[in-house]
Structure 1
């Protein structure tokens, strides 16, 4: 394996050469490397030019950031910044490697991210509740909106209030567009336990509730996109660092090639995902009644709170139109009522098939084999030593490390249904017939 991959120690030495070739092969690529006084590796950052150009020009400005541990000989953390394209597919923006998830490493990564993407209008960051992330987002990007992942908020609630089950109501409160509905759900939570309401208030409604968020999240409420990218790199994370980067580049090349072809062959004005979303909403709005106020304003009666639609401003009192930048059911009912109105003119450019093509317009090139590299003597003379701290002896960590305050779920037995063991170690008696109930060990 070392003949194929190289040793972890040699991999760190190859980093300066790898960075040089990466920038030669991919125009606009941004890389940074930092070492300590003894030339030991500290931080690495990589932003491929094609990803940066596509994100700035054609991707919704919502970035989910997360870190995940590396599995190789030396300790380390892989930092990932990910967005969603107009077809709601993963769009990696930047990658980084540091020692761990701490203030210094997150601060360094986010400052380099700022250098790579510059000032992006209406930019939004979403992460879990790691204190180092929020702190350093505010430092590196003082004028952007910051939100927390609603999934991790529910996990934190479950860990703090084990005897209370309000996760479903919290999710409804987080996703609702109308403040009236939000207040209703919060009142329901208060009936269950006031401590939960106090906890949610302390977390900040403006960080997790869509209707109170100071920015556009475009229906992106969780960091699942970053977690999904972590899962894609599950096996490469055990490789030496330059081979890990090779795997990332190879995956980006594959995605850009496949999705570019898919986008070019798309014959609708919007992406496939956006077209499907509009079709579903249009079917739901067929029974709505439209009342005209003037040339641009309409009242749409839906049997609930109704919707006040302004076609000129592209807004609706349900707030879904302006927050998702896609026509809501009320707006689609108006378009059906006024046949001269085009649904597509009301959609954000980010959902158009043109933006989809532009996001993947550039080609991602592999750096090639080491024998093909052509770098200056100055770059070759840069010596990078491995991280100071090695992994402890023993079987390395393979499973995902739960985030802060996240409850670790125990395994569930497939035979008796109890938690804490599996079917191979289950000691519950086997039922004599299908009608006889299973007696679990803790019930005897």
Structure 2
């Protein structure tokens, strides 16, 4: 007897839009179809130039399992190869650490970094470790775990992890087995602009929630229309944008510029500066696009230390304009 198994959809406009206008980040997640229409929707979404939700592909399957995730990854690889994306090492994948994705991503997208969602890790930390220490302040230790994940330097990371293990020895094995190189900022080998959660995929699941109550054919068409309307609305909004940057990155740069006004700067060379912020000193190298605070390196956005008033000058200002246009791509 013929039986529906699975369906993969990636619209041409979504593929081209991702390759030409989005960051190389792919968020993967699954969500259930509602009511009597059983099954799951697996999604691959990303962020556009304004840090907003952008759909790359989705699939309707009978269940979220290892075989279906492998199948979706193979399909996703094929559509990317059609756009001449054959070197996958610059793509960063995000997931909730589903076993199917842990197996499929390294095999299908060789060399691609795989980032584990911090929110799911904190949930596991609460259930597997904090539950065994009922007298501990759960919110406090959850925040320490999150600080370790966001730490920009290895010393900061080690400090937070050490405090957790000293207070809860059972946490040591949990942390080792969780593969910190896949979730800690200071250890992560890929580029993810300091994004550490799989929220983008969760937002997509909520965005299509009304469609998940429909029969499969109607559901797929409803999602198609949603994507079409979103892309048209973004297109119309972009027509009135001024300047080289989208509004959100531009606001981030403006905020950093405002913070920089009271900093003291000493020049070492044309491109190298030492910035004093109270008791904190940072070395800024505009030639290498780096700051010793590592915020620039992690976020991909020049931090407040790189735009101090004392760095003004024709060469530095021109260099800054170059960063504004290209360092966010």
| TM beyond 0.5 | yes
Q: Is the CA contact (8 Å cut-off) linking 1:127 and 1:148 kept in structure 2?
A: yes
8 A Cα contact 2:282 2:305, kept in partner: yes
- 2:89–2:113 CA contact under 8 A, matched in 1: no
Describe the superposition over 1:226-284 as per-residue Cα deviations: whole angstroms up to 9, x where unpaired.
Answer: 00110011121111111111111111111111111111211132111111111222222
* Residues 102-133 of structure 1 deviation map (CA, whole Å, 9 limit, x = unaligned): 11111101110111113345100010021111
Q: How does 1:382-397 map to 2 (within 5 A)?
A: none
Alignment of 1:28-427 (within 5 A): 38-118=1-81, 119=86, 120=88, 122-160=90-128, 161-162=130-131, 163=134, 164=136, 165=138, 166-333=141-308, 337-340=311-314, 341-342=316-317, 343-347=320-324, 349=326, 351=328
Give 3-state SS (helix, strand or coil) of 2:245's partner. coil
Which structure shows the higher helix fraction?
A: 2
Q: Do the aligned partners of residues 230 and 261 (structure 1) sit closer, same or farther apart at CA in structure 2, a change above 3 Å counting?
A: same
For the aligned residue pairs, the C-alpha RMSD in angstroms reads 1.8
Q: CA deviation at 1:306?
A: 2.3
TM-score by length of 1: 0.67
Cα distance in 2, alignment partners of residues 53 and 304 from structure 1: 48
8 Å CA contact retained: 1:174, 1:210? yes
Cα displacement (A) at 1:323:
2.4
The structure having more radius of gyration, on CA atoms, is 1
| Change in 2 beyond 3 A, CA 1:171/1:243 | same
**Cα contact 1:269–1:344 (8 A) shared by 2:** no
Contact residue 271 and residue 285 of structure 2 kept, 8 A = yes
SS in structure 1 opposite 2:163?
Answer: helix
State whether residues 67 and 77 of structure 1, in contact with CA within 8 Å, keep that contact through their aligned partners in structure 2: yes
Taking a change above 3 Å as real, the CA distance of residues 84 and 284 of structure 1, as seen in their structure-2 partners, is same
Relative to 1, partners in 2 of residues 1:304 and 1:96: Cα closer, same or farther, differing over 3 Å?
A: farther
Rounded Cα–Cα distance in structure 2 between residues aligned with 1:205 and 1:327: 26
Structure 2 counterpart of 1:32: none
- The answer (yes or no) to whether the contact 2:301–2:327 under 8 Å persists in 1 is no
Give unpaired runs (5+ residues) of structure 1.
Answer: 1-37, 353-444
Whole-Å separation in 2 of the counterparts to 1:44 and 1:344: 45
Contact 2:28–2:94, Cα closer than 8 Å, also in 1: yes
Query: Which stretches of structure 1, 4 residues or longer, exceed 4 Å deviation after superposition?
Result: none
| Aligned-residue offset at 1:74 | 3.5
State how far apart, in whole Å, the 1-side matches of 2:173 and 2:15 are.
40
Q: Which has the higher contact order (CA 8 A, sep 6+)?
A: 1
CA apart distance, 1:215: 0.5
- Three-state SS of the structure 1 residue aligned to 2:90 is coil
Q: Where in structure 2 are the equivalents of 1:7-22 lying within 5 Å?
A: none
- Higher deviation after alignment, 172-181 or 342-351: 342-351
SS at match of 1:210: coil
For residues 127 and 170 of structure 2, the distance between their equivalents in structure 1, rounded to whole angstroms, comes to: 14
| DSSP-derived class of the 1:91 partner | strand
Aligned residues: 314
CA distance in 2, matches of 1:305, 1:205: 28
The alignment partner of 2:262 has SS state of coil
Are 1:69 and 1:76, in contact at CA under 8 Å, matched by a contact in 2?
yes
Residues in 2 aligned to 1:136 and 1:41: alpha-carbon distance in whole angstroms: 23
Mapped to 1, the partners of 2:31 and 2:71 lie a distance apart of 16
